[in-house]
Structure 1
Amino acid sequence: MPNNIEKLSALIITYNEIGYIQKCIESVSFADEIIVVDSYSTDGTYEFLVEHPKVKVIQHPFSNFTSQKAFTLKQATNDWVLFLDADEVVSKKLETEITSTINSDNTKEAYWFYRKFMFQNKPLNFSGWQTDKNYRLFRKSKAQFSDKKIVHETLEVNGSSEILKEKLTHYCYKDYKDYKGKMLKYGKLKAKEAFYREKKFTYLALLLKPSWKFFNHYFLRLGFLDGKKGITICYLNALGVLEYCKELKRLEKKNELAYYLVMP
């Protein structure tokens, strides 16, 4: 073990996460500092965070996930950061693994976490999520969020990485309305990202992509083994792809209209 104990910053972004942020904050109480960047919640999330003795909360307008997380990362005072979503929870076993990892002699620059998905407090074992993993623990000095993506942000790491053994618990599905709204929001942001990268809308993609998403997650990725939960998740994920295609078409039409309006 090293002579000096490494300090850890827990970072979270929020918007209307009351009912979930409490469990998240409690699970990272072992961190040396907890910083939450809130994009002007209206459901009591901000008020809860302001009153919490261990939390430093900052309100910052939301543009996209990458810019919000990049801003949040700058607020950390420690090199080691644990970046969580507000609906994620660190188990005691994962806490032990995190603290022992950052204080070991043979540390990497970043660590992947596999996630255990929860559907209304019940495990979601398949439906395309069984191989999902994300960077959650890394050195601030060795990583940055890529500006090439504005949703499902990508962390660029200058160095080596490993996968931790324990899984992070992710309460992905609160209720139908919430998850549907999340998928539609992701679809629109992905369309904006694709539009900036000059990808084109096609009716063939509109027809095939949502159907393929459902087929892939429900049949090939074994969503049917999750029962009714699998049908719901796979359908809403496909709906997000449909929204992506429709939003890309809307952006192209808007761009064409703007072009004709400025023509002499």
Structure 2
Amino acid sequence: MRQNAAMGISGLIITYNEEKNIQQVIECFNFCDEIIVVDSFSTDKTVEIVQKFPNVKVIQHKFEDFTKQRNLALDAAKNDWVLFLDGDERITPKLRKEIIKELNKKEQKDAYYFYRKFFFAGKPIHFSGTQSDKNFRLFRKSKARYIEGKKVHETLNVKGTVGILKNKLLHYSVADYESYKKKMIHYGVLKGQELAAKGKKFNLLIQYSKTVFKFFKAYILRLGILDGKEGYQLSYLQSLSVFETYESLKEQN
């Protein structure tokens, strides 16, 4: 049964080969009166699964970058309030209640940060830089838009008031080591293309110094060492993404 907020809200997600996740994400939108999936021509059963839900609209659009896909979803939403989720994110019952309660208030903020609880292959991670991880997930599209030119780690520009919800969003970002490694390398490649588009030039010293510092920051300064083996792996893969960013920039140059 759908739990309604006082006003209309659109649930949004961008997808590519999310057959393992998509049904659970769609179910997280059970209090939304509209759900929009922007799919990059998935080759698995993502679209087939989505089409089983009667209130879901599927838009297929060739992937250029994450920002363009997200803004396309925003443009398609009929409601001003939108809830954006990634395939590896889940809303808890407590967070759902908090969202509905917030939208039922006479006055709301224009955008809300969600803190995220990070999981590595099902194991909760407490440090490694994840303790301060938060993103905008609920906002008025009339007051916010993703900044053009950001190919990865897309940034929402909010022209209004900002709040933070208390309950955390579950973030199952790492299904296993190898898939996360591919993901981080992919992000690095896109970031390198972004830097090249801004006119940045490759520098070997910067590549190695930033790679080393990224590992030191995650593993030592952000206490990744306290997360055991997973903390070491996360810190390594974060630094690998930085290394690949500059490899990508070198190729673009």
TM-score > 0.5, shorter chain as reference: yes
Which structure 2 residues correspond to residues 21-170 of structure 1 after superposition, within 5 A? 21-170=22-171
Say which one has the larger Rg.
1
SS in structure 1 of the partner of residue 132 of structure 2: coil
Looking at structure 1, the residues matched to 179 and 151 of structure 2 have their Cα atoms a distance apart, in angstroms, of 20
Q: Match for residue 239 of structure 1? A: 240
Looking at structure 1, the residues matched to 208 and 155 of structure 2 have their Cα atoms a distance apart, in angstroms, of 28
Looking at structure 1, the residues matched to 236 and 53 of structure 2 have their Cα atoms a distance apart, in angstroms, of 38
Structure 1, unmatched stretches of 5+, are 253-264
With structure 2 as the length reference, what TM-score do the two structures score?
0.95
Looking at structure 1, the residues matched to 47 and 233 of structure 2 have their Cα atoms a distance apart, in angstroms, of 31
Q: Is the 8 A contact 2:214 2:238 kept in 1?
A: yes
Q: Is the 8 A contact 2:15 2:37 kept in 1?
A: yes
Q: Match for residue 192 of structure 2? A: 191
Cα-to-partner distance string for 1:98-126 (whole Å, 9 max, x where unaligned): 11111201201111111011111221111
Looking at structure 2, the residues matched to 160 and 91 of structure 1 have their Cα atoms a distance apart, in angstroms, of 25
Looking at structure 1, the residues matched to 110 and 180 of structure 2 have their Cα atoms a distance apart, in angstroms, of 33
Larger mean Cα displacement after TM superposition, 45-54 or 210-219 = 45-54
Looking at structure 2, the residues matched to 192 and 165 of structure 1 have their Cα atoms a distance apart, in angstroms, of 36
Deviation at 1:148, TM superposition (A): 3.5
Aligned AA for 1:167? K
Structure 2, unmatched stretches of 5+, are none
Aligned AA for 2:23? Q
Looking at structure 1, the residues matched to 171 and 240 of structure 2 have their Cα atoms a distance apart, in angstroms, of 21
Cα-to-partner distance string for 1:136-178 (whole Å, 9 max, x where unaligned): 1000111111114121111111111111111111110011221
Looking at structure 2, the residues matched to 149 and 203 of structure 1 have their Cα atoms a distance apart, in angstroms, of 23
| Paired positions, count | 249
Looking at structure 2, the residues matched to 112 and 98 of structure 1 have their Cα atoms a distance apart, in angstroms, of 11
Aligned-pair identity (%): 53
Looking at structure 2, the residues matched to 169 and 9 of structure 1 have their Cα atoms a distance apart, in angstroms, of 20
Q: Match for residue 14 of structure 1? A: 15
Q: Is the 8 A contact 1:80 1:102 kept in 2?
A: no
Cα-to-partner distance string for 1:63-100 (whole Å, 9 max, x where unaligned): 00000100011111111000111111011110011111
SS in structure 2 of the partner of residue 18 of structure 1: coil
Q: Match for residue 229 of structure 1? A: 230
SS in structure 1 of the partner of residue 11 of structure 2: strand
Larger mean Cα displacement after TM superposition, 213-222 or 21-30 = 21-30
Aligned-residue RMSD, C-alpha: 1.2
With structure 1 as the length reference, what TM-score do the two structures score?
0.91
